[in-house]
Structure 1
Amino acid sequence: MNRDFYRNKKVLVTGGTGLIGRPLSELLVRIGADVTVVSLDAPSRAPEGVRFIQKDLRNFDNCVAACSGQEIVFNLIGIKGSPKMAAQKPASFFVPTITFSINMMEAARQAGVERYLFTSSIGVYEPADVFYEDSVWKTFPSENDRFAGWAKRMGELQAQANEIQYGWDKISIVRPANVYGPFDNFDPENAMVIPSLISRALSGERPLTVWGDGSPIRDFIHAKDVARGMLQVVEQGYNKPVNLGSGEGVLIREIAETIADLMPDHCEIVWDTSKPKGDAKRLMDTTRANSLGITPSISLRDGIQETIEWFQENQKISGQRYNAFVDNT
């Protein structure tokens, strides 16, 4: 990454207090960018060294105001939750996700933003062992990701429309794998697997019950590695979708056992095989990311250890922020 590329650039990060947005904003400040963060969160949660705007980006005028004078926009705002939440409250995913996407990209175009990043999702893919970027438009999203997946696909289609009609060819699209780390959603009712297990284990649940048999294989990537990948994609002006994942599978059993092993006391795991375990395998093909010089650097164990320690110190913060929209995809 060329640190000089971002130096003194006016950069806007939506969702800059969330799981990926926080480390991204901190990295941008560190390399000398003039960073503005816009979020629904309170100003006290903004990273140090940024200009903070508290606005609802479902409102187009707010998006226009946020983009005014910006040179680069990283659009990370979105809705994050478990498959259960997506199944029971699909409108809460679909409507805001489309609204955020359409409003922000159009506002950035009208403002003459030079480069723009749209954060898509692993949810755009149909069920498969390995996800390849160019396969998306030949398929349909998984039924489990139908609403969120189609909403994110519409954002990707909007980018294509802008390139065709306006020649705006500096819109980057990233599709993160299963992202984890500090500032995640730790609400055990709608969190993803790593934060949910961490929250439940630290709350004293013994034994720790995990759905399925632990055999599914998933692709996990730390939020800081996603943030670094985003910086590299935008710096290069790359405008084809890029998977951001480890490209290496890990068993859900290994995830659970690592979390149990890192608990202060012995944590026994019980597998509830009467519950669904999900698709057998879901991995990102990272050939395209690797060709751009993007490779993760944080090991899964180290990343989980850091996440546990952060949650122990910030349980109050992580519990409060999920009463409203979650600023991260």
Structure 2
Amino acid sequence: MAPDYWADRTVLVTGGLGFIGSHVVEALLGRGARVLCVYRRDKPEVRAEFPVSEALSTMCADILDYDALLVAAETVPRIDAVINCATLDGNMQFLLEQSGRMFDENIRMVSNVLKLARYCEMRDVVLISSAEIYSYESEKPMREEDDHRRHMEFSPNGYRMSKMFTEVAAALYREQFGMRIYTPRPTNVYGPRDDFGTATNHVIPNMLMKLASGEDVEIWGDGSQTRTFIHVSDLVRAILCMVQSGVYETLNIGTQESVSIRDLAYLLAEATGRTNGVRFDPDKPVGAARRALDLERFHSVVDFTPRSLKSGIADTVQWYQKNLQRVR
């Protein structure tokens, strides 16, 4: 049996106490890697969920400060790979109010990670991108080629623009320095440790919080618009498979299972034991009718089948109910 690609490698995970980053840390430890978990804001409750392991080092460092990031990196003898999970994100209101800050900070974090990776001669660099980079005008499943190189368009969404320019930076570093840089593009991600902050959370945690507190979920339009979701643990597995295979520099990550926003709300209501709690506002804008990814490359790379949305929601609701007091 071939040894695990990640075994005995030292991996720097930025944003390591965040939603996606904390799951990356756990997955790497489970694969036998040594992990340097760097975070900007301490979350003792997340650190408490990590396994006790001599292979794990944690350090507080603001990756907007390159010198602080370099100091963190120099606490270990070498770093073989970096997975950048640090990002500033939020719901639509947060995006509209903080777009300039979001673009600025996300680009600076990526710039510092790339600079450090080159300085440390890291073998693998992962910059988590997003399916948000694709044009909002198309309703067909988006292929990896249907990106900013084909449809570069301005958006007032600073998060979306920052992910486009993340991929531009990755392409330029690959070309000039010959670096192995991967930019996975996940669809909507959900699961345990998601962002339940009322100012920044996305659709599933937002609905879940409202249902758990006895409030109604308000759906804009008739809720027929469809989206796809992937559980955070499946996203992490796919990223590790992507790097191990080394076949694709960019990869759509998602599932074939699409769901209407209306049915998503009903699924969450059922999972939380609510018999009602969903109402509609037909006068509000609904966005694109359909957002889907072409997953041909994904299925050629991953070695597992992502869990169903119903199963993933049950897992998320169970975690939320167990941690209800601290996530509020």
TM-score (norm 1): 0.90
User: CA contact under 8 A between 2:227 and 2:261: conserved in structure 1?
Assistant: yes
* Corresponding residue of 2:319: 310
Counterpart amino acid of residue 53 in structure 1: M
Q: Which range moved further: 235-244 or 304-313?
A: 235-244
Percent of pairs identical after alignment?
Answer: 29
1:144 offset after TM fit, Å? Answer: 5.8
User: CA contact under 8 A between 1:185 and 1:195: conserved in structure 2?
Assistant: yes
5+ residue gaps, structure 1, are 320-329
Counterpart amino acid of residue 93 in structure 1: M
Residues 165-176 of structure 1: pairs in structure 2 closer than 5 A: 165-168=176-179, 170-176=180-186
Runs (4+) of structure 1 exceeding 4 A deviation are: none
1:109-133 CA distance string (max 9 Å, x none): 1111111111011221111222211
Match of 2:311, SS state, is helix
* Corresponding residue of 2:59: 53
User: CA contact under 8 A between 1:289 and 1:295: conserved in structure 2?
Assistant: no
Counterpart amino acid of residue 173 in structure 2: N
1:127-169 CA distance string (max 9 Å, x none): 1222211111111357363x2222112221222212221222x
Residues 77-96 of structure 1: pairs in structure 2 closer than 5 A: 77-96=86-105
Classify 1:209/1:158 alpha carbon distance in 2 versus 1 (closer, same or farther; 3 Å).
closer
* 1:108 counterpart = 2:114: no
* 1:64 counterpart = 2:60: no
Q: Which has the higher contact order (CA 8 A, sep 6+)?
A: 1
Classify 1:309/1:2 alpha carbon distance in 2 versus 1 (closer, same or farther; 3 Å).
farther
- Partners of 1:155 and 1:37 in 2: CA distance: 21
* Corresponding residue of 2:30: 30
Classify 1:294/1:172 alpha carbon distance in 2 versus 1 (closer, same or farther; 3 Å).
farther
- Partners of 2:200 and 2:268 in 1: CA distance: 18
Classify 1:213/1:3 alpha carbon distance in 2 versus 1 (closer, same or farther; 3 Å).
farther
Q: Which range moved further: 135-144 or 96-105?
A: 135-144
Match of 2:291, SS state, is strand
- Partners of 2:13 and 2:162 in 1: CA distance: 20
1:204-245 CA distance string (max 9 Å, x none): 11x432222110111110000100011011112345210111
* Corresponding residue of 2:205: 195
1:153-187 CA distance string (max 9 Å, x none): 2221222212221222x211101100001111123
Residues 250-329 of structure 1: pairs in structure 2 closer than 5 A: 250-293=259-302, 296-319=305-328
User: CA contact under 8 A between 1:67 and 1:108: conserved in structure 2?
Assistant: no
* Corresponding residue of 2:155: 143
Match of 2:41, SS state, is coil
1:43 offset after TM fit, Å? Answer: 5.7
- Partners of 1:248 and 1:3 in 2: CA distance: 33
1:190 offset after TM fit, Å? Answer: 3.0
- Partners of 1:295 and 1:14 in 2: CA distance: 26
Aligned match for 1:216, one of 225, 239, 253:
225
Counterpart amino acid of residue 195 in structure 1: P
Match of 2:87, SS state, is coil
Residues 153-168 of structure 1: pairs in structure 2 closer than 5 A: 153-168=164-179
- Partners of 1:187 and 1:257 in 2: CA distance: 22
* 1:204 counterpart = 2:214: yes
Counterpart amino acid of residue 278 in structure 1: G
- Partners of 1:239 and 1:286 in 2: CA distance: 13
1:97 offset after TM fit, Å? Answer: 0.5
1:6-55 CA distance string (max 9 Å, x none): 11111111112222212221111111111111112326222233211111
User: CA contact under 8 A between 2:211 and 2:277: conserved in structure 1?
Assistant: no
RMSD: 1.9
User: CA contact under 8 A between 1:184 and 1:318: conserved in structure 2?
Assistant: no
5+ residue gaps, structure 2, are none
1:294 offset after TM fit, Å? Answer: 5.1
- Partners of 2:225 and 2:303 in 1: CA distance: 26
User: CA contact under 8 A between 1:122 and 1:176: conserved in structure 2?
Assistant: yes
1:188 offset after TM fit, Å? Answer: 3.6
Counterpart amino acid of residue 217 in structure 2: L
- How many pairs are equivalent? 316
Counterpart amino acid of residue 207 in structure 2: L
TM-score (norm 2): 0.90
- Partners of 2:248 and 2:115 in 1: CA distance: 17
1:41-87 CA distance string (max 9 Å, x none): 32622223321111110001122233442111111110121122111
- Partners of 1:65 and 1:238 in 2: CA distance: 33
